[in-house]
Structure 1
């Protein structure tokens, strides 16, 4: 009833203003509208942040389902620690590095003491909300790493890796592309300055996590029994595909906060961004399913599920820039690419990635980012892609951005894993791996009474 009265009052005000029967200073009306918009922005950004936070559950379910039962509790612990440790270090360090006063386009410098903001003022309320939204993105980048090094990594070592990813690796490259988002400095971030466009983080978030995961998988090495004496790859099936499917649908749901929420503004663009997001995911399912069907003779469920994530990751960069048709094309191609990439990384590079994190997030994130320079359509975003007559400049900016972030994230990730390995060792012992990390690292079973031990 109160909402109806409020709407009627607003309508009556407008009617009286139109007829001249009510005279209110224009500045007062503008101030009221500005405050209402600010409150709407806070509400929308907070809702989106909560949706993205719930994606943490999706990542946990996907990783659990695609790995073995004896490591399920370890997967859950890593995802919980990603968000918990990540939130604190991003509060203390990461946000300032990513969004602070720019130094040469490469790093932020000013601190971000939330205690310095008065939570009773609009500025303070927005500061807190914006930090929360950005913190869940940082946690997403970190948690991608856990899937790529699952089932054979020491838990204490992983905590240290996750901490540095959230505090340093993610924020630095994030500043390159998104440095102006907080202080509004148009010169902040050297990639941003050259026209690089990554609206919601195909490269800034997902590829960073994927490339660090690739570095970690190389340093940690393959799981015992993954590759035979002749180097042939052996499948190690996940223990619970229904759980993985649940995780995929949770992630799909949360992505409607990830992409539309990146507007941080409650306006009409969130609708078509959601449409593009959904269409790309659906097309990714079809592309991955068909590719697996053709290659293996069966429509494999694991590849099909990862196809949805491939489409979502790929469209994240261009969800604001491309048309719905463009999103379908990008998602479909990403689904196909995911299958090809998983096979290539596993059988050619001999890198053991239990959940396909490198392919889904690293490769498809890079692919989707480059596609912005091709498919960005007039009337949707801020740039025009090559396909619509925008020339090679936007495409070139995207390629440079993707390459630069790969060099940084993979290089820094490789050094980080090597240093942690020297300090405490990152690889679990052979006995610990065979028994499972649930018992050896955490002293418990995820499925009490149903544990099955193997000798390979």
Structure 2
């Protein structure tokens, strides 16, 4: 029997099926690369901790990842779909995000919901990881998890609904544009961390009796630097998740504007290199060089789809010089103990990024009638993102602090959170953490040039 040539309808169906599968495969691997971000944060924070707190810092990240996934399933995705107008939900629009919706499970007629949800839940987990680094070595595990769930499954996704949803009010009313989520992910998380850090207080021994900052060194700087590099690797998945795959046409941003992988590749690599160089000029420290790479990408994230590559390099260079100076100022002037500079990197980096796009861009936005990208629109939107992160972070942690629920007791902090919260020692054979705890709550170092180690 001779083979029959496929009909036009059959060929069309095959093309459509292939397009759908390609879309799924793209976001599948974006999500996998985004998990590498959390491998990086895990190594980064464990290396930045002293021996006695190594595993506790890692466990915080692992548990935040685990708790945010189900909570984002049960109510986080609904917030994104329903709350784009502000605080008044659109129940009809949010119906597809209810946990019992047919879109929220295996469904042969819906190839998109689960794969997009997977990317978004990894964005949510990233916000918790950003916050986690700022509060290492003294926060209670239980209070951290409550705050992480609120940040990752409520606060950031509310910002995403306002400014990263096609109908979000920040975009339709102010022309907000933020291709790489510098606002709703990085700024919100950074300002949330700032609010919590203000109420949490500094680690024991972080400041001398006269208020002079005392350096507390992590036990493994190479691990920290490698972790930061892994975060850069994961960023390529993160930024891929910021694009919409159209098998029959051009890529678009989440705002519906055209974009190419080529543009994002040019600008991401230029931003990372500019960030490293800028931080090197200011600090000469490998930690800040790799943190500078993060600052560089974050500060260019709003316009990675639009910038000419040398402009991305310049913005990243400037932002990565500002970030360590910001962290230094907050530490010396306000006695804030942000252990890894999370606010300076993500909060300040995101703020610079949103405002810079307003300065350097007058590009049109989504559709006719929508305001163009403007300085005022970007600046006002940045203020909204800052308040959205800071107010709940400060308010919730203030209540927890007043109730005695936010911070571990001084004796537990001195003993080390590995023994108290995990309980297990990271290096029991050669460096038992209990043998390295020489500080007591009343014996903080008084010599300004001294260093507190593990």
Q: TM-score, normalised by structure 2?
A: 0.85
Where do 4+ consecutive residues of structure 1 move more than 6 Å?
A: none
Q: Deviations over 1:339-361 (max 9, x none)?
A: 21111111112211110101001
Answer yes or no: is 1:419 the counterpart of 2:410.
no
The corresponding residue for 1:97 is: 79
Distance (whole Å) between structure 1 residues aligned to residue 425 and residue 285 of structure 2: 29
Farther-moved stretch of structure 1 (29-38 vs 339-348): 29-38
In 2 relative to 1, CA 232–104 (structure 1 residues): closer, same or farther, beyond 3 Å? closer
Q: How far apart are residue 211 of structure 1 and its match?
A: 0.6
Does structure 2 conserve the Cα–Cα contact (< 8 Å) formed by 1:314 and 1:365? Answer: yes
Does structure 1 conserve the Cα–Cα contact (< 8 Å) formed by 2:85 and 2:162? Answer: no
Does structure 1 conserve the Cα–Cα contact (< 8 Å) formed by 2:40 and 2:228? Answer: yes
In 2 relative to 1, CA 393–312 (structure 1 residues): closer, same or farther, beyond 3 Å? closer
Does structure 2 conserve the Cα–Cα contact (< 8 Å) formed by 1:310 and 1:331? Answer: yes
Distance (whole Å) between structure 1 residues aligned to residue 22 and residue 356 of structure 2: 32
The corresponding residue for 2:419 is: 439
Does structure 2 conserve the Cα–Cα contact (< 8 Å) formed by 1:64 and 1:72? Answer: yes
Answer yes or no: is 1:275 the counterpart of 2:259.
no
Distance (whole Å) between structure 1 residues aligned to residue 365 and residue 309 of structure 2: 16
Q: 1:33 aligns with which of 15, 22, 40?
A: 15
The corresponding residue for 1:247 is: 227
The corresponding residue for 1:48 is: 30
Q: Deviations over 1:64-107 (max 9, x none)?
A: 22221211111111101111101111100111111226445765
Answer yes or no: is 1:304 the counterpart of 2:289.
yes
Answer yes or no: is 1:454 the counterpart of 2:438.
yes
Q: 2:108 aligns with which of 121, 128, 147?
A: 121
The corresponding residue for 1:356 is: 341
Q: How far apart are residue 324 of structure 1 and its match?
A: 1.2
Distance (whole Å) between structure 1 residues aligned to residue 172 and residue 125 of structure 2: 22
In 2 relative to 1, CA 261–232 (structure 1 residues): closer, same or farther, beyond 3 Å? same
Answer yes or no: is 1:81 the counterpart of 2:67.
no
Does structure 2 conserve the Cα–Cα contact (< 8 Å) formed by 1:157 and 1:426? Answer: yes
Does structure 1 conserve the Cα–Cα contact (< 8 Å) formed by 2:270 and 2:312? Answer: yes
Larger RCO, structures 1/2 (Cα 8 Å, 6+ apart): 2
In 2 relative to 1, CA 347–394 (structure 1 residues): closer, same or farther, beyond 3 Å? same
The corresponding residue for 1:237 is: 217
Distance (whole Å) between structure 1 residues aligned to residue 83 and residue 344 of structure 2: 34
Q: How far apart are residue 239 of structure 1 and its match?
A: 1.2
Gaps of 5+ in 1: 1-21, 181-185, 293-298, 384-390
Q: How far apart are residue 130 of structure 1 and its match?
A: 0.7
Q: 2:49 aligns with which of 50, 64, 67?
A: 67
Q: 1:223 aligns with which of 203, 206, 210?
A: 203
Distance (whole Å) between structure 2 residues aligned to residue 170 and residue 216 of structure 1: 15
Distance (whole Å) between structure 1 residues aligned to residue 411 and residue 141 of structure 2: 15
Distance (whole Å) between structure 2 residues aligned to residue 104 and residue 203 of structure 1: 16
Q: 1:395 aligns with which of 352, 356, 375?
A: 375
Q: 2:312 aligns with which of 327, 335, 339?
A: 327
Distance (whole Å) between structure 1 residues aligned to residue 192 and residue 204 of structure 2: 22
More helix by share: 1
Gaps of 5+ in 2: 252-258, 445-454
Does structure 2 conserve the Cα–Cα contact (< 8 Å) formed by 1:151 and 1:223? Answer: yes
The corresponding residue for 2:450 is: none
Does structure 2 conserve the Cα–Cα contact (< 8 Å) formed by 1:106 and 1:189? Answer: no
Distance (whole Å) between structure 2 residues aligned to residue 61 and residue 371 of structure 1: 31
Distance (whole Å) between structure 2 residues aligned to residue 312 and residue 108 of structure 1: 34
Farther-moved stretch of structure 1 (313-322 vs 98-107): 98-107
Calculate the aligned-residue CA RMSD, in Å. Answer: 2.3
Give the SS at the match of 1:445. coil
Q: TM-score, normalised by structure 1?
A: 0.85
